A and B are shown apart, each in its own frame.
Chain A
Amino acid sequence: MSKTKQTLDSITVRFAGDSGDGMQLAGDRLTDVSAVMGNDFVTFPDYPAEIRAPVGSLGGVSSFQIRFSQSLIFTPGDEADVLVAMNPAALKVNVKNIRKGGLVIVNTSAFTETNLKRASATADFLQDPIFREFTILSVPLGELTRSALKELDLKNVDAERCKNFFALGVVCWLYGRKLETTLEWIEEKFSKSAELVQANTAVLKAGYTYADVSELLPTQYFVPKAKLEPGMYRKIVGNDAISIGLITGAHLAGKTLFYGSYPITPATEILQFLAAHKSYGVKTYQAEDEIAAIGAALGASFAGNLGVTGTSGPGMCLKSEVLNLAVVVELPLVIVDVQRGGPSTGIPTKMEQGDLLQSVFGRNSNSPLVVLALKTPGDGFTMAVEAVRLAIKYMTPVILLSDGFLANSSEPWKLPEIEKLPDLRPKHPEAVPGKTFFPYSRDPQTLARPWAIPGTPGLEHRVGGLSKADQTGYVSYDPENQQKMVNFRAEKIRRIATDIPPVEVRGPGSGKTLVLGWGSSYGAIFQVINDLNKDGHSLSQAHLNYLNPFPANLGEILNKFEQILVPELNMGQLLVLLRYEFPNKKFIGIHQMNGQPFKVHVLGQKIREYL
């Protein structure tokens, strides 16, 4: 049969199955080939907190969504154009994630009586009217995989494991994805077993051919190259970008990176990444608890290393006392908070932007520090280097906010030119004969105190959590001194406003509506504004990577708009900060607290209400 070819701007594919079905792997391979073919892409793994829920159960469904496109995108797509469902549970859980008219590739081999029961589905599940809205492609992946492998003398278990490659092969044909990249990957991955190379290669090709000849798939779709900025790229997830940024920042500062952490979802990968990079001189320390993790990091900073700790919301609560100590002793410290849904243990593998106010205010007394956020996975690199820069230059703790979506989501990252990275080396004081050293003297410009490193002769001094006297750092309970030190610390942070990049506006520089966001909502806002402006609206977007202090020009920009919409995955935390800082402006909050990123069409609808 002759097949038609059609070009599309973007495609969203969702793989869903049991944790053992290799869905993340299939998704990763599709991502790599899409990258090599020049598409822009965003991926989003969606997995349960349970490590291995019972096979075939609804709670054990693990999914991976990838959107690849010709235009620039920053979200993984609201709904899938094609769903690969490896069992009844995967289908049941993901029905709501498929576009009407979309394609569902169903692994009918797994539609056994037992699996249907495990998914609380009836025997005629596939005949359910809800599936009439989709094209169902029934593929007995088990049988087809085994038949593709009949020449090989493979154990049943190993053969069974290859079936994700059959599904991948089908998808690759459907969207004109070349097989070479995946074949090369198979050769490298299984280089120790010629048999497994042969098997996976055979199955991938069989899937591709199956789709090619299938009468149920009359059309092959193509997504042309995206117009990405010229340069070198790699695929990156947020946690890796932050890790690379931290190593880079420490390197640029000429400092040993000390990372103290306690395993916590979804921040753990940063500890694991850094622990695997010891050859870069990184010292990692898996502490006994969250408090010890930040304590050790602060101790390392006092000793002259660059102390960094990473965590998520529940860990942030535990770290607040030592964080406050860091504010008073004025040492550099970076705290990465990969936010997850809360409160309390909450929904550990899901996300929200719930820790902003905690970061800005969540300590006893007046405790100013710097709060930054990344907006895309690759931005984690830039903002981690920024966190290091500000922590050292201003001798202050810096909180860097990421979230569970950015942590695991991937995108093409344009690699920085190494020669153009900034020099972050601090000037450590040395003793000057005849001159007294003052550990709490201040740089007239930045108000930072000197960072005297233990081991330096003549600069012996004491720091601590008791109030410090100006200049000497002695313990002081003097009322005037207390007021002075509180003011110094506040003013030091305020001054950073002019040492960070100004806020930029995308779209018209003035008008009725500005949409102002922070963190990972960037992608959804970006897409919504593109869509709405295509419909004839005239919206502008601004995004805050610097939450405390705000960039100096923020007020000026806000004044050019009548209303400012503030979408956030919380109940209005940036909103609180904005209303406090700019009491006369009209801010409208748009909130969502369901543990998921904004869907473009949902956010679009909400924004439309105010136009």
Chain B
Amino acid sequence: MSPEALKLPHTKDDFVSNQQVRWCPGCGDYSILAMVQRTLAKLNIPKENYAFISGIGCSSRFPYYMNTYGFHTVHGRALAIASGFSIARPDLSTWVITGDGDALSIGGNHLLHSLRRNMDFKVLLVNNQIYGLTKGQCSPTSQFGKVTKSTPFGSIDHPIAGLSLALASGASFVARTLDTDPKHLGDTLERAAAHRGTAFVEIYQNCVIFNDKDFAPVTGRENREDRMIYLEDNKPLVFGKKRDRAIQMNGLVPEITEYKEGANDRNLLVHRVDTPTSHYAYMLSQLNYPEMPVPFGVFRDVKQTPYGELVEKQIQEAIKSQGAGDLKSLIYGGPIWRVD
């Protein structure tokens, strides 16, 4: 903890705290932490103007490892606490670190409302599809049938699609990335950082101890080209080792079709992040393995005034129309009388 303010531009190391990182060896959180620190170093914001707020879970230890202001709160409430924080200080850059249990189970209500209000913070939802800190129970994103310590006969809960939920809640920025592709992770974080309002980023993260290789069928080296789509603005949704397949709509249903580089097939879906409604992004958020490839990248990024700014605006308008309130008018306002 250095007492002097550091000069801009910052380096990645400026954001490294003096605390020993205590995640399991091989945990995907290491890569996320490093990429967040790298991304912040690029942003030209003094580090005292960052706050990292988390709930409970493995990834929620994150703030302790960041040399910024930080608040490790209670289970599920990071978004609630961050909401108050960002309303109080719209001038600061607020980042929420949460997990699949923290954000989608115990804290689900706060996620829905943060998104619909467009709170001015980033939400990094680190999804490993398991409860790690409690040693391996099923989470709200665990697959149907998943055998865990709390579901020895297989989970009979259907998983939540976090991105669909976010879009249905009116999110203005929605993205998905993964721990094993640092470049994509970094690029996605940069785009999230540039967004004003709630930037919701789901990060696929591998839990080496309790859910190792859960994402491997999609993101594993041998599968990823055939089962992942990297979303690129204004380009068709192309995937495959030979880049020979793409997504098109058949009526109301997306389907896989053959693709040839340079072909101008008007049936192909072309990726846009700024459509006025979220129908398209929602459709993307429903694409899932094994039926379909899984999209990664920015699904939606639209301009919408952040909540904190609206709060400030109402206060300024009230002051303009009523004058700035003082204690005299507050206490001595209304009908008063004198007793001699």
B-contacting residues of A (Cβ < 8 Å)?
A: 32, 35-36, 38, 228-235, 244, 247-248, 251, 256, 258, 260, 277-283, 285, 287-289, 291-292, 295-305, 307, 321-322, 325, 329, 381, 415-416, 418, 421, 431-437, 454-466, 472, 474-475
Point out the residues of chain A lying under 8 angstroms from B84, CB to CB. Answer: 258, 260, 285, 295-301, 303, 305, 307
Contact A436 B1 (CB under 8 A): yes
Q: Answer whether residue B12 sits at the interface, using C-beta atoms and an 8 A cutoff.
A: no
Question: How many angstroms between the C-alpha atoms of A437 and B1 in the bound complex?
Answer: 8
Contact A229 B339 (CB under 8 A): yes
Closest to A234 in B: B336
A137 smallest CB distance to B (angstroms): 31
Known: A288-B113, A418-B328, A433-B4. A460 touches B67 (CB 8 A): yes
Which of A36, A280, A457, A460 sits near B337, CB closer than 8 Å? A36
Point out the residues of chain A lying under 8 angstroms from B331, CB to CB. Answer: 244, 248, 381, 415-416, 418
Point out the residues of chain A lying under 8 angstroms from B229, CB to CB. Answer: none
Contact A325 B74 (CB under 8 A): yes
**How does the 8 Å CB contact mask read for B59-74 relative to A, with 1 for contact and 0 for none?**
0000110111111111
Q: Which of A247, A296, A322, A458 has the most CB of B within 10 A?
A: A296
Contact B3 A435 (CB under 8 A): yes
Q: Answer whether residue B80 sits at the interface, using C-beta atoms and an 8 A cutoff.
A: yes
Contact B70 A288 (CB under 8 A): no
Contact A278 B314 (CB under 8 A): yes
Contact B110 A292 (CB under 8 A): yes
Question: How many angstroms between the C-alpha atoms of A38 and B338 in the bound complex?
Answer: 9
Closest to B113 in A: A288
20 additional contacts (CB under 8 A) given A454-B48, A474-B19 = A35-B337, A234-B335, A234-B337, A248-B327, A256-B88, A278-B318, A279-B319, A282-B315, A287-B83, A289-B109, A292-B110, A295-B80, A296-B81, A299-B82, A303-B89, A421-B327, A436-B1, A454-B89, A460-B47, A464-B71
Known: A283-B315, A329-B71, A458-B3. A299 touches B325 (CB 8 A): no
Q: Which of B2, B327, B332 has the most CB of A within 10 A?
A: B327
10 contacts between A and B (CB under 8 A): A279-B319, A281-B319, A287-B83, A288-B112, A292-B109, A296-B80, A322-B81, A325-B74, A458-B4, A464-B64
B224 smallest CB distance to A (angstroms): 36
Closest to A293 in B: B80
Q: Which 7 A-B pairs have the closest CB atoms?
A: A464-B72, A296-B84, A295-B80, A457-B5, A299-B84, A280-B325, A299-B81
Residues of chain B in range 73-130 having any CB-CB distance to chain A below 8 Å: 73-74, 77, 80-89, 91-92, 109-110, 112-113
A234 smallest CB distance to B (angstroms): 4
Contact B339 A38 (CB under 8 A): yes
Question: How many angstroms between the C-alpha atoms of A62 and B200 in the bound complex?
Answer: 49
Closest to A325 in B: B74
Point out the residues of chain B lying under 8 angstroms from A230, CB to CB. Answer: 339-340
Q: Which of A454, A458, A460 has the most CB of B within 10 A?
A: A460
Contact B81 A298 (CB under 8 A): yes
Closest to B317 in A: A278
Question: How many angstroms between the C-alpha atoms of A253 and B97 in the bound complex?
Answer: 32
Point out the residues of chain A lying under 8 angstroms from B89, CB to CB. Answer: 303-305, 454-455
Contact A431 B5 (CB under 8 A): yes
Q: Answer whether residue B251 sits at the interface, using C-beta atoms and an 8 A cutoff.
A: no
Question: How many angstroms between the C-alpha atoms of A351 and B51 in the bound complex?
Answer: 42
Question: How many angstroms between the C-alpha atoms of A457 and B8 in the bound complex?
Answer: 12
Contact A475 B64 (CB under 8 A): yes
Contact A232 B336 (CB under 8 A): yes
Known: A283-B311, A302-B85. A244 touches B330 (CB 8 A): yes
Point out the residues of chain B lying under 8 angstroms from A258, CB to CB. Answer: 84, 87-88
Residues of chain B in range 304-340 having any CB-CB distance to chain A below 8 Å: 311, 314-315, 318-319, 321-325, 327-328, 330-332, 334-340
Known: A230-B339, A456-B48, A459-B48. A465 touches B81 (CB 8 A): no
Contact A280 B330 (CB under 8 A): yes
Closest to A437 in B: B3
Which of A280, A281, A300, A472 sits near B87, CB closer than 8 Å? A300
Known: A233-B339, A415-B336, A461-B69. A432 touches B88 (CB 8 A): no
Contact B330 A463 (CB under 8 A): no
Closest to B316 in A: A278
Q: Answer whether residue B288 sits at the interface, using C-beta atoms and an 8 A cutoff.
A: no
Which of A233, A292, A303, A434 sits near B85, CB closer than 8 Å? A303
Point out the residues of chain A lying under 8 angstroms from B1, CB to CB. Answer: 436-437, 460-461, 472
Contact A291 B87 (CB under 8 A): no
Contact A235 B335 (CB under 8 A): yes
Known: A248-B330, A299-B71, A474-B19. A281 touches B325 (CB 8 A): yes
Contact A279 B324 (CB under 8 A): yes
B1 smallest CB distance to A (angstroms): 6
Known: A285-B83, A295-B80. A436 touches B71 (CB 8 A): no
Closest to B67 in A: A460
Known: A288-B113, A291-B77. A279 touches B339 (CB 8 A): no
A453 smallest CB distance to B (angstroms): 9
Question: How many angstroms between the C-alpha atoms of A419 and B87 in the bound complex?
Answer: 31
Question: How many angstroms between the C-alpha atoms of A472 and B18 in the bound complex?
Answer: 11
Closest to B328 in A: A418
